[in-house]
Structure 1
């Protein structure tokens, strides 16, 4: 069986690849239906369908290239059912390269053996 930390890091790598491929629909299984995302400017997106719609809107921008999250650490609760991932993120556009960036914290929960993102908070520190 895959260790929880390794499973979460693998899922993060896959979300980065799907974002770079601009494949919003395939991101859906990574989010809890009631996910809450606080974006870099402090705005709030509630619910998986709204998160996927936000990704699709960004992917429609021809200048958009990717959001890359780079984990620094993953912590796990004693029961092995919840985890926190922290790291840095960067938004990349074709015209500006890496133009905004900051730190993030993601809360993960295990549902039927699969790790889902329960919430994410992104803080813009550059850009």
Structure 2
């Protein structure tokens, strides 16, 4: 049986792959429709449609390479239906230094599948 931690790690790995493949629409099932995301620059994105549109915009940038999120821990609530994933992220663009920082993602289990309820990204290194 797959543990929730392993399931979340697998979903995160797949989102990294989809981002590297620049396939925004395929990211939709990973987000709760009312997801809230605070990006590394402090901007707030509300709802899956807005998050997917932001990814799509970045994917259209010919210099964008990928975002890679590497989870360092996943902590479950007592019911096993919500989880907090903490880790590091790196954003890469052609001809520019990487940006990186830390992130916290809140996952929730919906009809047997883990989806992202909210995410907070903090940029700690802008590649300056």
TM-score, normalised with respect to structure 1: 0.97
Provide the C-alpha distance between the structure 2 equivalents of 1:92 and 1:101, rounded to a whole number of angstroms.
9
Provide the C-alpha distance between the structure 1 equivalents of 2:46 and 2:18, rounded to a whole number of angstroms.
21
2:47 counterpart residue number: 47
- Where 1:62 maps in the other structure, the secondary structure is coil
Give the deviation of 1:95 after TM superposition: 1.2
Gaps of 5+ in 2: none
1:9 counterpart residue number: 9
2:108 counterpart residue number: 109
Gaps of 5+ in 1: none
1:36 counterpart residue number: 36
Give the deviation of 1:97 after TM superposition: 4.6
Provide the C-alpha distance between the structure 2 equivalents of 1:95 and 1:14, rounded to a whole number of angstroms.
26
Instruction: Kindly report which structure 2 residues correspond to 1:1-127, keeping only aligned pairs within 5 A, or say none.
Output: 1-98=1-98, 100-127=99-126
Provide the C-alpha distance between the structure 2 equivalents of 1:120 and 1:8, rounded to a whole number of angstroms.
14
Q: CA RMSD in A?
A: 0.7
Provide the C-alpha distance between the structure 1 equivalents of 2:29 and 2:74, rounded to a whole number of angstroms.
20
Aligned pairs, how many? 126
Q: Which ranges of 4 or more aligned residues in structure 1 deviate by more than 2 Å?
A: none
